[in-house]
């Protein structure tokens, strides 16, 4: 219980520092959320700044925002006056979560077997080909991969839609998410394959694997019982950074495909100085990353007893 309370306190402190830094950076940037309203009469501009407390000092604005946050209110959106920030996040989070989950599942589902295969065939032509392709996947940025996917599968083959988000049926929804998920997954798939390969190679050279071979265990059992669990530990440690990579990559991918996800709202909010929207997205993303890190730490401790002893 003490360890759990300590982890919760650390998570709250991390999110507070993240939100505070973002708040200060947003307000330090030139311009304001209602610069496009400069053609409006001065009394209209004054009413807008007063309505959103922008006429008050920065410390007062910060305390006012913290007070609303303590009550679970992320505030109104400056550029979407008919919506609260929580409503916009409720609409966009499932979109980003679906694309991100598909991307992470694709990266793990293909990266781990490919990494294991490369480790088992270390030094072979297959190993060199797989690592060469993974290097290519890491080198090509997402803003290049996404248009190439649209060109290949939407414009040329007409297999999948090149953009938009069709919620008409589950099938049309899945079709809308496939290309964005692939664009997000490719760099992470390449990195996952490399990490899995390195972890499996270390496990294959360990004493307990040599002892298992000496006892006459089959190769399949050695891989399943000894090599794969040990090889997965570095992959589990990488899941936190992978989630950050997918979330940051969604900013580009959602813009290219015209998807109404959190990444797109984050970009629009930053460009329009929509302070509350940007802060809301940052807090939600930060909370998700904290939860993912806690889950992966627990999963690593469950797989590796040595980590349970270190934290016991």
- The pLDDT value recorded for residue 103 is 92
Whole-angstrom CA distances from 295 to 3, 236, 292, 299 are: 14, 10, 5, 6
**Domain architecture of the chain: domains with CATH:** 92-254 (1.10.3720.10)
pLDDT above 80 for 53: no
Among 27-36, 248-257, 281-290, the least confident range: 27-36
b/e string for 7-20 if b means 16 or more Cβ within 10 A? eeeebeeebeebbe
pTM recorded for the entire structure: 0.79
Q: How far is it, in rounded angstroms, from Cα 155 to Cα 149?
A: 9
pLDDT above 70 for 42: no
Quick: pLDDT tens for 5-21.
Answer: 777 787 788 888 888 88
pLDDT above 70 for 154: yes
pLDDT above 60 for 38: no
Please give the average per-residue pLDDT across 232-256, as a whole number: 82
pLDDT above 60 for 174: yes
- The pLDDT value recorded for residue 36 is 56
- The pLDDT value recorded for residue 147 is 87
Quick: pLDDT tens for 275-294.
Answer: 888 888 888 888 888 887 77
The torsion defined by the Cα of 295, 301, 304 and 309, in degrees rounded to 10, comes to 170
Among 181-190, 218-227, 253-262, the least confident range: 218-227
Q: With beta carbons less than 8 A apart as the criterion, state whether 249 and 237 touch.
A: no
């Amino acid at each position: 219980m003490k360890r759990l309370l300590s982890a919760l306190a650390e998570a709250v402190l991390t999110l507070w520092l993240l939100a505070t830094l973002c708040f200060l950076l947003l307000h330090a940037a030139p311009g304001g959320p209602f610069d496009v309203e400069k053609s409006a009469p001065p009394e209209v501009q004054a009413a807008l700044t007063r309505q959103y407390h922008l006429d008050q000092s920065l410390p007062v604005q910060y305390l006012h925002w913290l007070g609303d946050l303590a009550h679970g209110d992320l505030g109104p959106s400056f550029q979407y006056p008919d919506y609260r920030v929580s409503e916009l996040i409720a609409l966009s989070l499932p979109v980003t979560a679906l694309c991100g989950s598909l991307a992470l599942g694709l990266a793990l589902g293909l990266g781990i077997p490919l990494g294991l295969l490369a480790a088992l065939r270390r030094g072979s032509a297959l190993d060199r080909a797989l690592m060469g392709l993974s290097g290519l996947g890491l080198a090509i940025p997402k803003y290049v991969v996404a248009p190439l996917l649209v060109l290949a599968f939407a414009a040329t083959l007409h297999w999948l839609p090149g953009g938009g988000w069709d919620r008409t049926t589950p099938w049309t929804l899945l079709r809308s998410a496939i290309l964005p998920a692939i664009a997000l997954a490719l760099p992470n798939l390449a990195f996952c394959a490399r990490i899995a390969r390195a972890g499996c190679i270390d496990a294959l050279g360990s004493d307990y694997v040599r002892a298992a071979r000496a006892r006459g265990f089959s190769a399949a059992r050695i891989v399943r019982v000894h090599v794969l669990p040990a090889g997965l530990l570095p992959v589990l440690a990488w899941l936190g950074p992978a989630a950050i990579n997918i979330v940051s990559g969604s900013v580009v991918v959602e813009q290219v495909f015209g998807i109404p996800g959190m990444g797109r709202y984050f970009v629009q909010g930053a460009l329009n100085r929509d302070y509350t929207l940007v802060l809301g997205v940052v807090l939600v993303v930060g909370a998700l990353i904290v939860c993912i890190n806690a889950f992966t730490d627990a999963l690593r401790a469950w797989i590796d007893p040595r980590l349970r002893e270190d934290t016991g």
